[in-house]
Amino acid sequence: MASSRPLHQTKIPLPLDPGDKPLDHEAHLTLVPIHVVTHASQLPTEFLEPSVESKLVIGFDCEGVDLCRHGTLCIMQLAFPDAIYLVDAIQGGEMLMRACKPALESSYITKVVHDCKRDSEALYFQFGIKLNNVVDTQLSPEYQQYGMAWFNSHAGVRDLRLSIGISYLEKEEVRVLLRQDPKFWTYRPLSELMVRAAADDVRFLLYIYHKMMEKLNQRSLWYLAVRGALYCRCFCINDNDSADWPSLPPIPDNVVIDGNAPEEEILSVLDVPPGKMGRVIGRKGAVILSIKESCNAEILMGGSKGPPDKVFIIGPVKQVRKAEAMLRGRMLDM
C-alpha cells in the first residue's frame, strides 16, 4: 500500500447499505486517495495475491496510445471502494505489469469495465496477460437497449458526475489534447489533469456494478460472465484457438428450467479474402447492420486497429452459424 500521503483525491459513489438514509443521488460519496503506482509494493496485498478467502470487485480500465496489440498501454486504472490506483506501465514497466498478472487473470477478482476488448488485446499482446472474470457494463440489458442514456438516467451517473466529478469541460480538454497529440498518456510526470481524467474513468464503475446486480437473475449473470469472457479473447486470436485461455463459464444447473437451458455462446472468426471486406461491410455498414438484425449475434470488425482481414461473431451457436453463412454468401457474391 502507498505509505505517503496521497497528492490526489477524488470521490467515489457507493450504493447505500440496507437501512441507511438516502444521501444525494442515492449514493455514499466517499473521499478516497488516488495513488500513482510505479512499484508493486504500492498495491494492496489482496490484489497481488488473489485468493478465494478475499474475493474482490474492482473497477478497471486502461489508457494508452492507439490501445491495441500494436499500441502502447500507458496506465491501468484500478478502482477499489477505498482508493484508486493508477498503475503506471511506463514508469513501472514489465516488472510492475507482471506483478499484476495473477490478479488480472484470477477468477477471484471481478474486474468491472466498460468495453474490455481493446484493453484485453493490449494486455495480451504486450504483456502476455489473459484478462479474466470481467463484468463488461456494455453487456447490461439496459445499456444495450438505451446506450449511454441508461448510465445518465437509470444509474444516476450523470448527476453524480456533475456534482462530484471532473467537469465536462475538463473531459473535453483531454479529448482535444489527445487529438492534438496521440502520445498524451506517455508523458511523465502525470499532470493533475491526467490523474483526474484517468481516475474519473473508473470511479463510477463499482456503483454501476451494484446497480446492475440489483436487476440481474441467474441466467443474466451467466450471460454476463460468458459474454465478457468472449469479449476478452475476441481480438486476441492466436494459432491455438484460444486454448491457453481459461475455460468459458459453464451453464449453471439453476438456470435450466424444465429442460430449457440457454444455448451455448461461442466466438467465431471469419477470414475475409483480399478485396472483399467492402462487400462484407456494405455501404455505410448497411450489410453488417442487416445481418445483425437477422441474427441474434454480435458482429465486430478489426477496423483500423486490426486485424483488418477478419470478422468476429459472438453469440448463441445457431445464430453465429447463421451469421457465418450470410457473411460467406457476401464474400462469394459477385
225 CB-contact burial (10 Å; exposed 0-12 / middle 13-18 / buried 19+): buried
Q: Which three cell numbers stand for residue 167?
A: 467537469
- Give phi and psi for 317, each to the nearest 5: -50, -50
- pLDDT value of residue 168: 65
Question: In Å, how far are 7, 76, 192, 307 from 34, measured between CA atoms?
Answer: 8, 13, 11, 35
d(CA 2, CA 15): 26
Q: Are 69 and 125 in contact (CB under 8 A)?
A: yes
- pLDDT value of residue 308: 87
- pLDDT value of residue 231: 96
- pLDDT value of residue 240: 75
Blockwise average pLDDT, block size 10, the chain, 334 residues = 68 67 58 96 98 97 95 97 97 98 98 96 97 92 54 51 58 92 97 94 92 87 94 88 86 80 92 88 88 92 87 95 93 71
- pLDDT value of residue 143: 57
d(CA 135, CA 157): 18
Amino acid (1-letter code) at residue 83: A
d(CA 107, CA 131): 10
DSSP state of 307: -
Count CA atoms closer than 13 A to 94's CA, side-chain side: 4
Domains, in order of start, for the chain: 8-221 (3.30.420.10), 263-334 (3.30.1370.10)
DSSP string, 12-68: EEEPPPTTPPP-GGGSEEEEEEEEEESSGGGS-HHHHS--GGG-EEEEEEEEEES-S
- pLDDT value of residue 227: 95
- pLDDT value of residue 22: 47
- pLDDT value of residue 243: 80
- pLDDT value of residue 141: 61
- pLDDT value of residue 146: 47
